[in-house]
Amino acid sequence: MDFSLTEEQQLLKDSVDRFVRENYEFEDRRKLAGTGEGYSEDNWKQMAELGWLAVSLPEEYGGIGGGATETMVIMEGFGRGLVLEPFFGTVVLGANLILQAGNEAQKEDLLPKLAEGGLKLAFAYAERQARFDLHDVETKAEKSGDGYTINGAKGVVFGAASADKIIVAARTSGDSRDTEGITLFLIDSDASGVSRRDYTTNDALRASEISFENVQVGASAVLGDVDGGHAVIERVAEFAVAALCAEAVGCMDILKEETNEYIKTREQFGQPIGKFQVLQHRMVDILINCEEARSMAYVATAMMDSDDAAERARSVAAAKAQIGKSARFVGQNSVQMHGGMGMTDELKVGHYFKRLTMIDLTFGDQDHHTKRFAAMT
């Protein structure tokens, strides 16, 4: 596999790195995280102007026609800055769900708006009893005239507070853990019967608990085939995992750089602590874990265009398991080498470790994907 970037992809990487340097200094991010929205609308408009929201969309829908690699380049850069804008929920999840399942009318209506920055999306898939099982869905959508009535609850819906529309996975037939019988619905975030409790997550992002009480939707709200949503969710979840792996690589790079710089300047016993061999060996271990994670993230990205579903699933599971392992090692040791101050809110390493922890828990943690990989081997 050739993991080198093309000239266009390198230009994209440079623009993302420049955006992070100019807009995401550590104190700037802390101020943004403390605002009511939790992100900057000006930054969101800038992302639209730079074409990042359209990077993975086909040209006929106002996109640039990029692919998985371009998305991962952006996500890795965002990981370096701990970017707060709802790119993951809108572009990585929402846009791909519409591309995978939407009909032509839905694509023509929604995707150009998304590319221009005028539409934000959130994906409500997780439920309290499901843990990491994407097929465990108790939220019900019952036929009501020409449309459906939706009742149920979803948890940890990233970006729901800022979303214009919510894509909801609901059960239209079968038992709660059947893979068949799940349907995707596109619902206005302010629709009657939708109630939301917003909160700040441990890594300073925004998420919501959403309840649906007799929410009425028409047949036009169905995204994809009735009862056929699970396959779409699985496919988009693979893309999301690859994106999270890329973001984690960016986070780990910063932890490595910050820790290396710290041990060169922090003095103990009359010399920088970086001169002690045990800490030099620890930095080597951090570097190795970063590179292992990077390699597996590249493999997951490369497999996104593969038609071999089984091999693609194995690669994604292996990558997420390695990312979880590396993230924990890099995060814990970076904090430890900074000493007690590594846990304080004023030092950035703790914030990156929090984000890595949340990445590990999104769409399946290390243990979950290790078991998946073992079952597929």
**340-365: pLDDT as tens digits:** 888 888 899 999 999 999 999 999 99
Q: Is the confidence at residue 182, as pLDDT, over 70?
A: yes
**Ranges in the chain annotated CATH 2.40.110.10:** 122-227
We find that the CATH architecture of domain 7-119 is Orthogonal Bundle (1.10)
pLDDT band at 273 (very low <50, low <70, confident <90, very high): confident
Whole-Å CA distances, 66 to 54, 74, 196, 225, 239: 8, 12, 34, 26, 14
- C-alpha 102/C-alpha 95 separation (Å) is 10
The mean pLDDT of 109-123, rounded to a whole number, is 97
Query: Rounded to the nearest 10 degrees, what angle do helices 7-23 and 41-49 cross at?
Result: 160
196-211 average pLDDT score? 96
Pull the structure tokens for residue 7: 């000239």
Q: What is the mean pLDDT of the chain?
A: 95
Domain with CATH 1.10.540.10 in the chain: 7-119
Our separate counts of H helices and E strands in the chain read 12, 10
> pLDDT at residue 175 above 60?
yes
Give mean pLDDT, residues 77-97. 97
Judged by phi (left if over 0) then psi (alpha if -120 to 50, else beta), residue 352 lies in: alpha
What fold characterizes domain 231-376? Butyryl-CoA Dehydrogenase, subunit A; domain 3 (1.20.140)
335 pLDDT band (50/70/90 cuts)?
A: very high
Q: Are 127 and 139 in contact (CB under 8 A)?
A: yes
Q: What is the pLDDT of residue 275?
A: 84
Q: Are strands 165-171 and 121-124 parallel, antiparallel or unpaired?
A: parallel
Residue 1 banded pLDDT, cuts 50, 70, 90: low
Among 2.60.120.380, 1.10.3720.10, 3.40.350.10, 2.40.110.10, what is the CATH number of 122-227? 2.40.110.10
Residue 92 has pLDDT above 70, yes or no: yes
Tell me which DSSP letter residue 6 carries: P
Q: Where in the chain is the domain with CATH 1.20.140.10?
A: 231-376
Residue 63 to residue 295: CA distance in whole angstroms: 28
Of the chain, the percentage scoring pLDDT greater than 70 comes to 99
Location of structure tokens 């829908």 = 61
Chain centroid, CA 150 distance in Å? 26
Residue 2: is its pLDDT beyond 70? Answer: no
Q: Span 363-377, mean pLDDT?
A: 95
Distance CA 168, CA 149 (A): 12
Give 165's pLDDT tier (boundaries 50, 70, 90): very high
Over range 107-133, report the average pLDDT.
96
pLDDT over 90 for what percent of the chain?
93
The pLDDT, as a whole number, for residue 343 is 81
Residue 294 pLDDT greater than 60, yes or no: yes
